[in-house]
Amino acid sequence: MQVKMKMPDLSTTEGTDIAILKWVVGVGDPVERGQVILEVETDKAVQEIEAIATGTLSAQMVAPGDKVPVGEFIAAIEVSK
């Protein structure tokens, strides 16, 4: 089963896009729920985004330099259940 992750509502100013900084986990790598997979920068701070499920990171749907609105798909995790 595939779980798609959306950009969480981390911005302190409503409607501001969130900048993608760096992927910490590569496509095909195992991830655990709660593990940091991506670093982003909001209008206020650099933040880490944690995986919401345990499995394999199957897609990175955004790239460093992208500015992404809250709620947009950012990653997919293949859950082994």
Partner 1 sequence: MTGGNQPEFLLGLLERMIEIREFEDGVKFLFLEGAMPGTIHQCQGQEATAVGVCSALASDDFITSTFRGHGHALAKGLSVQEMLDELFGAASGCAGGKGGSMHMGNMDKGMVPAIAIVAGGIPLAAGMALSFKLENKPQIVACFFGDGAVAEGAFHEAVNMAALWNLPVIFVCENNLYGASTRIDQVMKNTRIADRAAAYGFEGETVDGNDVLAVHEATRRAAAQCRAGKGPYLLELLTYRRTGHSRRDPTHYQPKDEKQAWFARDPIDRFAAQLQADGLIDAEGVKRLRAEVTKRFEAAVEIAKHATQPTLADLETDVFAEKEVA
The residues that touch partner 1, with contacts defined as CB under 8 A, are 5-6, 8-12, 33-34, 42, 44-50, 52, 70-71
Beta bridge partners of 57: 77
CB-nearer residue toward partner 1: 29 or 48: 48
As measured in angstroms, the least distance from the Cβ of 72 to partner 1 is 10
Q: In which order are the strands placed within the sheet that holds 36-41?
A: 46-50, 36-41, 18-23, 67-68
CB-nearer residue toward partner 1: 14 or 26: 14
CB-nearer residue toward partner 1: 9 or 29: 9
As measured in angstroms, the least distance from the Cβ of 63 to partner 1 is 20
